[in-house]
Amino acid sequence: MADGQPFIPPSAVDVDLSAVGWAQNRTMSDFETGMWRMEEVRPELRTPIVAVDVLDRAPDWDRLVRAHEWASHIVPRIRMRAVEPAFGLGNPVWSVDPEFDLDYHLRRVRLPEPADLDHALRICRHLATEPFDKARPPWMAMLIEGLADGRAVYVVKTHHSITDGMGGIQMMALLHSRRPEPTPDKPDRAPAPPEHLSDLSALGLEVLTEVRRAPSRIADLVSGSARAAITAVTRPFDAAGEVLDYANSLRRVIQPPPATGSPLLRNRGLGRWFGVLEVELPVLKAAGHAAGGSVNDAYIAALLGGFRRYHEELGESVGKIPMGMPINMRAASDPSGGNRIAAVRFAGPATEPDPALRIRKVRAIVLALREEPALDIVEAASPLLVRLPTRLLAEWYLSQSKGLDLQASNVAGVPVPVYLAGARIERMFPFGPAPGCAVMATMVSHVGTCCIGVNLDTAAVTEPALFMQCLQEGLDEVVALAGAAKGAEG
């Protein structure tokens, strides 16, 4: 999600209980339902979102447990499981788990000392690859202790059906505090009461929901049809032009990127490998501006430079990289949680050796894609796609994503120091899901540092350490633009 605004976490005492909207929509959207069901037939399509906090010390465990308990009162979705309606007729319904057990979801391990971040990341990636128990709320958290210098790692994994990247940042903000001391006067409320929702009851709720939606849908359809008819009569050439423009946009959005993909990255599997990069936000911003681009343009150009170097190291020529990028569609008025993203696909100019030219090419491509009228076509088509047999839906989605060598996301982070049960969060590394693609890179800015989490499919990237080294070199060559521009000004 490109160039989002920084997220300022509210102080615990400022949490507005009436504004927490996670429990308002009890039925999964069609888009979320597709993600929830497809992985049952194709495990490659699992969609865990993983966030890794690097802490300056181990937090107080009892206080951490209490923070999770409090958050589950504030956000009822934390206590909810997904109940499939009888006969698969309709979308899953969120229901408060009658056997919710915080001890199951929040765990604690200690690494043999001295351990480093790489050891902790191995634990994190193993946690990420384990499938969720779908009879329980689909999230898991773990405190990893035993790192050198007394540091610790906190990792949380949520299913993508719960939320997107920005929603995940908002969710985690409830556990964060802007001060290390406890907040005794923060607002609270009683936890949501347990619910014993059966599959037949879930089906009944689905029917009731559809009945309630029908009038507004019919009204929207009638209103839209009336507007279209009026436009067709009063401005026939405008109407024809709009239809043609949308049809052309639809063709550009849904057709595969004009790139065949790398033969080095052709295979796909279930193995995952986590790597991290970091760069100061002002430096990356200056590098982007030096080439006439943005932070996001510089970030994408750095990744593509790493792809080019990896191919050169292995003696393979690189072509344009077929890639995808989510676009944040979340409005300020949208409630927390849920998924509000659109996706674009394009051919990344990895063949361009000049990092400045690469940044400008990326910028031109992304700006054009953001203006596409059919940008939200996948969400619009979700009601039809989700009605397909699950296996057919999974095969269709895999055919769309398997041809991508890279997916890159940029999520707005936290610009102010925050703490987790008394421990200061030094870094916050995100790891987005890689359903069918070779590499998923996600960047979050944290207190002036861009934290980049790279999720690799080990069947595609067979030399992960070398690949991360090449990404670092790609980042270095982009960052050097900032130094060159500063020198030229001096």
Q: Which residues are catalytic?
A: 160
Which one-letter amino acid corresponds to residue 379?
Answer: E
The H or E element that residue 49 is part of is strand 48-55
| 166: nearest Cα among 24, 34, 51 | 51
The single-letter DSSP state of residue 338 is: B
CA–CA gap between residue 130 and residue 272 (Å, rounded): 11
**Integer angstrom CA distances of residue 75 from 11, 16, 50, 132, 335:** 16, 11, 19, 20, 11
- Residue 283 to residue 269: CA distance in whole angstroms: 36
Question: What DSSP state is assigned to residue 404?
Answer: -
Q: How many CB atoms lie within 10 A of CB 145?
A: 21
The single-letter code of the amino acid at 127 is L
* 158 membership: H or E segment, kind and range: strand 152-159
- Secondary-structure breakdown of the chain: helix, strand, coil percentages, each rounded to the nearest 5: 45, 20, 35
- The three-state secondary structure class of 333 is coil
Query: Which residue(s) pair with 27 in the sheet?
Result: 93
Tally of CB atoms within 10 A around 469: 16
Enumerate the β-bridge partners of residue 145: 110
Type of residue at 85: P
Write down the residue that tokens 């944040």 correspond to: 328
Backbone dihedral angles phi then psi of residue 30, each to the nearest 5 degrees: -60, -40
Interacting residues of 418 by C-beta distance below 8 A, sequence separation 6+:
9, 173, 176, 177, 178, 424, 425
